[in-house]
Amino acid sequence: MQTTFIKDKFSLMKKIMKKNLSKLLFSGISTSIIFVVIFVIFFQINTVKGVGTAKSLTGYAWSDTIGWIAMSPDDSYGVKLNNDDTVTGYAWSENIGWIKFGGLAGTANNSLVLGGGDIGANWIERTSLGNKYWRSITSSSDGIKLAAVVEGGQIYTSIDSGMTWTPRDSNRRWYSITSSSDGIKLAAVVYSGQIYTSIDSGVTWTAQNSTIRKWSYITSNSDGTKLFALEQLNGEGSPYGQIYRSTDSGITWNAITVGNAYWSSIASSADGMKLVATVYYGGRIYTSTDGGNNWTPRDSGRYWGGSVSSPDGTKLAAVVAGAYDSSGYIYISTDSGVTWTPHMTDSSRNWSSVTMSSDGTKLAAVAYYYGGSENIYTSSDSGATWTARTTPSNTGWNYWQSIVSSSDGKKLAVAKYGGQMYTSTPSDLTVTDANLTGENLTGWARACAGTIGGDCNSATRTDGWDGWISLSGSSPTYGVKLSNSQGSHNYAWGSDVVGWINFGNVSIVNPCTPTYTCTPDNTGQIDSCTGLTATCSTGQMCAPSSGICTYLVSSGVVVDFLVSPNTINKNGRCNLSWNLSRIDASSTCALYQGSTLISSFPPSSVNGIYSDLNIQNETTYKLTCGEMATNDPAILTSSSSKYTTCNINPSSKEVN
């Protein structure tokens, strides 16, 4: 599924990117490229100097998701290892387009803070708490202050994002807890008990509303002044409870006229005016835009579970909890609950709780499964795609009960009924440009196709993936170690989208000696080169524009080289003509009379003529066309020279 997604998403973009990059790489360079013009003169030795000194990567990296990634060491594109140990250039993938190295970091110290990394990828089990029957957990907006309740146990609070916890109040049948955005005002309900409030982040608690009720759920607006609690009377098949409201931080409570129902959850906007409430046991979703005075039923009758609201109340999410052998999906609304769209429809699950960032882009949900293990699921694209997450002990029966996030969606905390508490707090990632330290490739590369404009510079992407590829890291330890020969090892990491990238077939190409000497044979072909480093094979030379070893071949092949007439009288004229093929603008042709250069010229036309006057003796002409071309040994057999001879009629004299 992921591979198909990537191919569909980038198939058009990669063609555009490849075309645009070619323009980027070659525009304005025509005046600066140094072409090697080879004048092959009979039995002379010529020295040609190259200017390239950067090492390059060659070969292919491999990803099981996107396939081969080409590291091409030529002038059109490639990844260069510069003398200052920076790594620059482009690699190419048929599935995700150009992958850029270097020039990615945005600050003066060549780093760029991305803010978050892979949210929910790593979890810490808070083993010091032990296994408990966790019922509910809540968080301040910054994710630093947490509070959770245990059924039959105590309230626990944390002021360090869940690293340490302090037990509060007494053992009770706690069912639900909520918090103001600053984490100072808390409220919790007891099933078959009272509502309790705290105004000091949970250090002390006060019982409110002396009436004993079967409280099952509670929520708060951002400042903690407006609270909404759900009552559950006798469970399924019996008269159900009501919604209660407090506008004085929980001191007084009044029932809202909406009717009895088997209410399962309720969520509030920051101002307490927009509400969403769910009904279990075949009920519906209800929304209110006036603080609970009036309600409108939404969507269809399902076994609704948890719900969540954005601060402005426009973005909502609710999950179907299921009943015994029945289950469902995650539903999301972007119009304050008027319409709902199902997500995670690949399989029905018994969802229990859902949480969301303030902007609605990041979501996390948990499923409470009867008879097997279920995962935590996260989404970073407003619920379009989801990723299953695994905690350190995600085995056996996972009764995931409640999940909560900070307002930016980065910090998560999840509680397991009869199990542990888990937290996930990804550190901000400092993205640095790719660098070579010894043989170790470090830093980051980035896929360009999904960025705005396809230029790799925008922090915003259109494909739901940040595009970053990490060349080294920890937890687990990974990285790319390069060597001068084929067979580098280890891996880079491209997140869940690309996965592990194997650099086992990528190696370093060393630059060759910038000065070399070539000796032609009598046909004009190069058959020996001296002054080259060991990295250049026999018959190869140092290409000055790329600094790598390459073959000397002809891109202009002389097909026909004729003289007319082929026999003339002494002091006559030889008319030469030729026909060329496989010509490009960088080729150079040279015309020789014997070993003397007559003329050199670019082959602007595939056909040419030349007249040589006052020929005294039989004369041999040679036409040679050639250039320094690509490292393709298959075209070495192409001839670059042709010979023709102008003959002289024998001399005659009168015999007496």
The contacts of residue 605 (CB under 8 Å, 6+ apart) are none
Write the pLDDT tens digit of every residue in 443-497.
888 887 766 666 676 555 555 566 788 888 775 678 888 764 444 457 888 776 7
What would the CATH number be for the domain defined by 523-648? 2.60.40.10
| pLDDT for res 450 | 64
Which DSSP state fits 440?
A: E
Rounded Cα distance, 391 and 375, in Å? 8
**Residue 287: phi, psi to the nearest 5?**
-125, 150
**Residue 114: phi, psi to the nearest 5?**
-85, -35
Q: Which fold has domain 124-424?
A: Methylamine Dehydrogenase; Chain H (2.130.10)
The contacts of residue 97 (CB under 8 Å, 6+ apart) are 10, 13, 14, 17, 18, 447, 448, 449, 454
Rounded Cα distance, 562 and 456, in Å? 55
Is residue 568 within 8 A of residue 648, CB to CB? The reply is yes
Please state, for a pLDDT cut of 70, what percent of the chain lies above it.
Answer: 67
Is residue 79 within 8 A of residue 101, CB to CB? The reply is yes
Same topology between domain 124-424 and domain 523-648: no
How are the residues of the chain apportioned to helix, strand and coil, as percentages rounded to the nearest 5? 5, 50, 45
Rounded Cα distance, 440 and 85, in Å? 11
| pLDDT for res 141 | 95
Write the pLDDT tens digit of every residue in 117-171.
578 888 888 888 989 999 999 999 999 999 999 999 999 999 988 989 999 999 9
Domain ranges of the chain: 2-31+55-114+429-509, 124-424, 523-648
Rounded Cα distance, 262 and 260, in Å? 7
| pLDDT for res 372 | 52
In the beta sheet, which residues pair with residue 383?
none
C-alpha gyration radius of the chain:
38
| pLDDT for res 604 | 55
**CA neighbor of 463 nearest in space, from 481, 486, 446, 479:** 446
- Is beta strand 363-367 parallel, antiparallel or unpaired with respect to 351-356? antiparallel
Is residue 455 within 8 A of residue 448, CB to CB? The reply is yes
The whole model's pTM is what? 0.55
Decide: helix, strand or coil at residue 15: helix
Write the pLDDT tens digit of every residue in 37-54.
222 222 222 222 233 356
Task: Give the residue ranges of the chain where pLDDT is below 50.
Answer: 1-52, 73-75, 107-110, 115-116, 371, 484-488, 513-540, 543-547, 550-556, 582-586, 627-639, 652-656
